[in-house]
Amino acid sequence: MSESPFPLPANIRITTLPNGLRVATDTMPHVETVTTGVWIGVGSRHEPLTANGVAHLVEHMLFKGTPTRDAFAISAEIENVGGHLNAYTGREQTTYYAKVLKEDFGLALGILADMVQHPLFDEGELEKERQVILQEIGQAEDTPDDIVYDHFLATAFPQQRLGRPVLGTAEIVFSLPRASLSDYVRGRYVASNMVLAAAGNVRHEDAVEMALRLFADLPTGEMADSEAGRYQGGEFREDRDLEQTHLLLGFNGIASTDPDLYNAMVLSTLLGGGMSSRLFQEVREKRGLVYSIHSFNWSMSDSGVFGIYAGTGPESTSELVPVVCEEVRKLSRTLTAEELVRARAQLKASQLMGLESTTNRAEQLGSHLLTYGRLIPPAEIVTRLDAVTLENVAACADRIFGTTPTVTALGPLEGLESYGDIAGRLAA
């Protein structure tokens, strides 16, 4: 994505420290809180295949103690001032963040800095946390509308890091040695691959001064590149005794830096992004075939997947799939100006409404700097959405839906057509 023609708003400032850590603030003087966190450009796609799950296990273990704080102190110090502390691991990013009152910004930043730089990885805590994650994996396996997405990505990106589950597998998580965690942090949690972001009632000068002092122990250097994503597509089916069949139909999608990104966002919104979308109206409102159906474009740094999820009763599967395929197949030829206007309005409203949350604004700062190397200002997002035309969306639809499909299904499968028949419907 090219450089922005829009200047950064005056309330947003970015400073790169001598060690390479970027400090970004979005000052909102009218609020009483601050959300601050560390965004790190590592996730499950940066793990060795033999250590799948180490990124997520590291995230858990950073809450389990440092030389100056045990696990209880980490949580209690934040909760004693009414704040909250959380984290998440994705396929490309890991984030640790806290939301506190403005006067407790320094406390929150100090705890985050301690966690990220000085984890103990205590063997006793590690054994307990393995058991916690094994329970988490089991819970995911028992939630078909959750685990179907892991099977979907494993089918779209077979035998690749990008297709491996974020939680890892029970066998690997149970056997990962402590050294795997410390090696992962030492090689991946480097200053140049991190963003310290804060949004709320905070001064940029204060954030920079604290970061210089609190994050002095971050390792420097460059993180090794991840394995490139290579979409392949295909099929995964698992017959389960469930009340519903959970289906995912997917295609090769759009990377986060692809010129078609905003076209794909509009495409996903008008196809299955709300109650007025084509899929919701045709599949649920007119035919009553599903309770839940939606589409999505998951964009990653070098690849992406475009997908449609539907959950339906086994008696409706045979009717559902042909209807969805027909909606996909005809979309590029039947787009209307009304749909385009509505989809653009939905996306713009979602972007602008998100600016009311300090957490959303900190997330935008951190993730944008990691993904694009810059913040994309709201005015630029709105302008890019306004520039999307019917011709753009139609061409993007032909590009995406012309790729090899990925079909993933869990549940009663008697009425589900063969992969070849589904692919044939899409190509008709």
CATH number at residue 181: 3.30.830.10
125 is catalytic: no
Nearest partner of 362 among 201, 233, 230, 208, judged by Cα: 201
Q: How many CB atoms are closer than 10 A to CB 418?
A: 11
Rounded-to-5 percentages of helix, strand, coil across the chain: 50, 20, 30
Inside any domain, residue 2: no
Cα gap 425→322, rounded to integer Å: 7
**Predicted TM-score of the model (pTM):** 0.94
| DSSP code, position 239 | E
Please tell me which residue in 3, 47, 59, 79 is annotated as part of the active site: 59
185, 214, 243: which is the final residue of a domain?
Answer: 214
Nearest partner of 200 among 357, 353, 369, judged by Cα: 357
* pLDDT number for residue 182: 94
How many angstroms separate the Cα of 73 from the Cα of each of 34, 69, 96, 98, 118? 21, 5, 16, 15, 14
Inside any domain, residue 1: no
pLDDT in tens, the chain (428 residues): 445 568 888 899 999 999 999 999 999 999 999 999 999 999 999 998 899 999 999 999 999 999 999 999 999 999 999 999 999 999 999 999 999 999 999 999 999 999 999 999 999 999 999 999 999 999 999 999 999 999 999 999 999 999 999 999 999 999 999 999 999 999 999 999 999 999 999 999 999 999 999 999 999 887 766 788 999 999 999 999 999 999 999 999 999 999 999 999 999 999 999 999 999 999 999 999 999 999 999 999 999 999 999 999 999 999 999 999 999 999 999 999 999 999 999 999 999 999 999 999 999 999 999 999 999 999 999 999 999 999 999 999 999 999 999 999 999 999 999 999 999 999 97
Residues 197, 250 within the same domain: no
Nearest partner of 50 among 177, 223, 226, judged by Cα: 177
Structural domain harbouring 147: 12-214
Residue 74, beta-bridge partner list: none
Residues 283, 184 within the same domain: no
33-62 as b/e, with b when 16 or more CB fall inside 10 Å? bbbbbbbbbbbbbbbeeebbbbbbbbbbbb
Location of structure tokens 């030829």: 333
Q: Are 304 and 248 in contact (CB under 8 A)?
A: no
183, 214, 245: which is the final residue of a domain?
Answer: 214
